């Protein structure tokens, strides 16, 4: 029995891995365990290797994952070839014995660089490259406990039991994995069934077939191996937990914040947010959200602007390539003081780059995109809880200061499935800012923040050109000064009123300070909890308006300052230098598109303390 377990479950894209994680996450939460899983996949609809890297904890809700795993569950041979070296000594392996004769050369979806590394590694350890030889190596050299299952034989059982075709039965490979995992981990039938029934609500026949196969494999595994991975002393109350991914929690936050119009053009990893909102867009007493799929990102932002001008709380969601197309519309919203929200999910670039991999490279892009100077508020979230709060807050800030708000996320947070406490919505008030209440209405009068009227309520003018208080085009120099200063003063006001734009974790005066933002938060907090050295963490929640005074006062207290980021060159260091003049000399970076693991971060921080200036993290296939 243990208190925490790291595991990887893998298979071909489209083979049911997403379903597997949804069912298991519910089952673990129902048993009082914390759960966190990162999903990694190729930009391919079906066939390429996909996996979920998860941590389950009986003690608390995990904040990060480790590179080394205690359990590897394989739907196919490629998963074993890709991840076998991630297993710790004494770990557990679930695999299909019908694949024993397969070699890496027979699997066409393995990329050539990985194939070459595997061949080199197999030569080093003296095996012939078949699955059977690899399994024997793991048994003998790493004391791995192997759960051998004949997948085709098991699928024949469900085929006979429910009189379905072999092609239909082949869709249930994921259920074999669920049964084996839940058997090894000692989950009760009631908890597993709950996960299946929740996933297949309204599809009783499919739920029944899944339950049959999962229970069958669960019993097989328990009879032969017991439940050696059962977590000890689960402490969480399932009634107080929510199981969500990042796209979903932001969708919930937007709805809670009063959003009633969302535009989007489908793009990874942003589109799932809009799909989720579409599924939950109607409310009994509060109307509904209009979710509008446009022909491109230009139409997405301009329709969002149009809806906002009518007084509707409006947002759009996109990723890097889509945001590039929205930039002209962003400038139009800036000069016309339109309160819109853009949820921006970063992914690997430039250009199409790595469409399904993570990055934090776009910070400078959102801070300085579009020509000319206009105020924008940029919020950044470090975990699901922050993402919910920021999604609610973004609309209040947009309408209060009448300016675009960009909520900057990343792919890791978008795709991570996690148990979190049910968000507190009591006390989250809607602030619509200054609305007009007089007849002599001028849209841009009495700045910095004018009274705002809605289209159709009074006569008003909007243009992409500089304008006077009424909105009419004006090139008068004195008017230009007045209007430009009016807009830019909003950032100063917002900076004086916004709390917690940067949060410090750690002792009052830490000798070593880590600086970061976004999804690196969990790995950093776990790393500094474990390390004996004196570490603090400066975590950004907002980059515009920038909290320069607070940041400077924290930076001055530490001897060693280290930037940690998913980028080639930490953008956070550039922004800190621009805003405070402080030069962050040391950095830990990762730009493979894979997540930063707790243990590899710890190793890199040790190297930094010992004198290294730059550590490049590489773990992850």
71: β partners: 7, 92
How far, in Å, CA of 436 to CA of 448, rounded? 15
- The per-residue pLDDT for range 204-213, each reduced to its tens digit, is 999 999 999 9
- Are 200 and 38 spatial neighbours (Cβ–Cβ below 8 Å)? no
Q: Does 240 have pLDDT greater than 90?
A: no
- The per-residue pLDDT for range 593-602, each reduced to its tens digit, is 999 999 999 9
How far, in Å, CA of 266 to CA of 250, rounded? 17
- Are 8 and 597 spatial neighbours (Cβ–Cβ below 8 Å)? no
- The per-residue pLDDT for range 345-368, each reduced to its tens digit, is 999 999 999 999 999 999 999 999
State residue 281's pLDDT score. Answer: 87
User: Would you say domain 502-616 falls under CATH 3.40.50.920?
Assistant: yes
345: β partners: 319, 409
- The per-residue pLDDT for range 261-275, each reduced to its tens digit, is 999 999 999 999 999
- Are 357 and 330 spatial neighbours (Cβ–Cβ below 8 Å)? no
589: β partners: 565, 616
Given pLDDT bands bounded at 50, 70 and 90, which one contains residue 1?
low
State residue 392's pLDDT score. Answer: 97
- Are 585 and 558 spatial neighbours (Cβ–Cβ below 8 Å)? no
Residue 561: which H helix or E strand, with range? strand 560-565
> Within 10 A of 55 (CB to CB), how many other CB atoms are there?
23
- Are 219 and 182 spatial neighbours (Cβ–Cβ below 8 Å)? no
Given pLDDT bands bounded at 50, 70 and 90, which one contains residue 3?
confident
Q: Does 19 have pLDDT greater than 80?
A: yes
Residues 507-522 have a mean pLDDT of: 95
Same fold, 243-421 and 502-616: yes
Token match 């999903």: residue?
39
Q: Does 295 have pLDDT greater than 90?
A: yes
How far, in Å, CA of 405 to CA of 337, rounded? 11
CA distances to 85, 148, 391 from 70, rounded to whole Å, are: 11, 16, 36
State residue 583's pLDDT score. Answer: 97
Residues 16-34 have a mean pLDDT of: 93
Residues 6+ apart with CB under 8 A from 95: 74, 80, 131, 135, 146, 147, 148, 149
Given pLDDT bands bounded at 50, 70 and 90, which one contains residue 338?
very high
- Are 255 and 280 spatial neighbours (Cβ–Cβ below 8 Å)? yes
For the stretch 538-564, what's the b/e string if a residue is b when 16 or more beta carbons lie within 10 angstroms of its beta carbon? bbbbbbbbbbbeebeebbeebebbbbb
Q: Does 235 have pLDDT greater than 90?
A: no
Mean pLDDT over the full length of the chain: 95
| Rounded percentage of the chain residues whose pLDDT exceeds 70 | 99
- The per-residue pLDDT for range 306-320, each reduced to its tens digit, is 999 999 999 999 999
State residue 346's pLDDT score. Answer: 98
Give the 3-state secondary structure percentages of the chain, helix then strand then coil, rounded to 5.
Answer: 40, 20, 35
- The per-residue pLDDT for range 136-183, each reduced to its tens digit, is 999 999 999 999 999 999 999 999 999 999 989 999 999 999 999 999
Token pair listed for 170: 């082949």
Domain boundaries, the chain: 4-225, 243-421, 434-498, 502-616
Residues 3-21 have a mean pLDDT of: 94
458: β partners: 455
CATH placement of domain 243-421 = 3.40.50.970
Q: Output the pTM of the full model.
A: 0.95
Q: Does 300 have pLDDT greater than 80?
A: yes
Q: Does 46 have pLDDT greater than 90?
A: no
Residue 168: which H helix or E strand, with range? helix 166-169
Question: What class is the 4-225 domain?
Answer: alpha beta
State residue 607's pLDDT score. Answer: 97
């Amino acid at each position: 029995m243990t208190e925490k377990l790291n595991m990887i479950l893998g298979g071909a894209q489209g083979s049911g891995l997403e379903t597997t994680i949804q069912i298991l996450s519910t089952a673990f939460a129902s048993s009082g365990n914390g759960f966190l899983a990162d999903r990694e996949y190729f930009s391919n609809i079906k066939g390429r290797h996909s996996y979920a890297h998860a941590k389950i904890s009986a003690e608390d809700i995990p904040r990060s994952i480790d590179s080394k795993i205690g359990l590897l569950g394989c739907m196919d041979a490629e998963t074993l070839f890709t991840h076998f070296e991630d297993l710790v000594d004494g770990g557990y392996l679930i695999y299909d014995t019908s694949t024993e004769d397969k070699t890496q050369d027979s699997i066409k979806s393995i990329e050539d660089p990985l194939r070459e590394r595997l061949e080199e590694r197999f030569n080093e350890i003296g095996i012939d490259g078949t699955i059977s030889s690899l399994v024997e190596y793991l048994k003998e050299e790493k004391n791995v406990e192997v759960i051998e299952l004949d997948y085709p034989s098991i699928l024949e059982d469900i085929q006979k039991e429910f009189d379905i075709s072999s092609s239909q039965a082949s869709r249930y490979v994921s259920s074999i994995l669920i049964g084996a995992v839940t058997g090894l981990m000692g989950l009760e039938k009631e908890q597993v069934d709950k996960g299946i029934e929740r996933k297949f609500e309204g599809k009783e026949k499919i739920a029944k077939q899944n339950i049959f196969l999962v229970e069958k494999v669960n019993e097989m595994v328990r009879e032969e191996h017991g439940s050696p991975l059962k977590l000890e002393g689960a402490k969480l109350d399932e009634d107080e937990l929510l199981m969500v991914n990042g796209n979903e929690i932001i969708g919930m936050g937007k709805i809670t914040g009063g959003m009633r119009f969302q535009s989007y053009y489908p793009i990874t990893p942003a589109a799932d947010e809009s799909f989720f909102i579409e599924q939950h867009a109607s409310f009994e007493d509060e109307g509904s959200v209009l979710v509008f799929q446009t022909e491109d990102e230009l139409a997405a932002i301009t329709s969002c602007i149009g809806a906002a001008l009518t007084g509707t709380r409006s947002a759009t969601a996109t990723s890097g390539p889509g945001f590039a197309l929205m930039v002209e519309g962003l400038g139009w919203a800036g000069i016309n003081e339109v309160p819109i929200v853009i949820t921006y999910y970063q992914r690997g670039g430039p250009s199409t780059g790595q469409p399904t991999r993570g990055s934090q490279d776009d910070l400078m892009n959102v801070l300085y995109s579009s020509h000319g100077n206009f105020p924008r508020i940029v919020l950044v979230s470090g975990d699901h809880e922050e993402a919910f709060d920021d999604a609610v807050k973004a609309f209040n800030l947009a309408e209060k200061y009448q300016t675009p708000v960009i909520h900057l996320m990343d792919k890791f947070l978008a795709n991570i499935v996690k148990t979190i406490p049910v968000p507190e919505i009591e006390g989250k008030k809607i602030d619509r800012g200054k609305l007009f209440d007089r007849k002599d209405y001028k849209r841009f009068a009495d700045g910095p923040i004018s009274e705002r009227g809605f289209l159709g309520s009074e006569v008003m003018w909007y243009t992409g050109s500089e304008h006077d208080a009424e909105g009419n085009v004006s090139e008068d120099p004195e008017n230009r000064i007045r209007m430009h200063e009016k807009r830019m003063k909003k950032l100063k006001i917002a900076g004086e009123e916004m709390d917690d734009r940067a949060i410090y974790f750690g002792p009052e005066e830490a000798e070593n300070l880590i600086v970061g933002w976004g999804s690196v938060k969990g790995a950093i907090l776990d790393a500094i909890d474990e390390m004996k050295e004196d570490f603090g963490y400066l975590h950004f929640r907002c980059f515009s308006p920038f909290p320069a005074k607070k940041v400077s006062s924290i930076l001055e207290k530490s001897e060693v300052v280290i930037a940690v980021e998913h980028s080639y060159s930490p953008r956070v260091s550039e922004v800190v230098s621009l805003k405070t003049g402080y030069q962050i000399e040391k950095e830990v970076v990762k730009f493979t598109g894979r997540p930063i693991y707790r243990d590899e971060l710890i190793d890199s921080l040790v190297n930094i303390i010992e004198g290294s200036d730059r550590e490049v993290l590489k773990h992850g296939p």
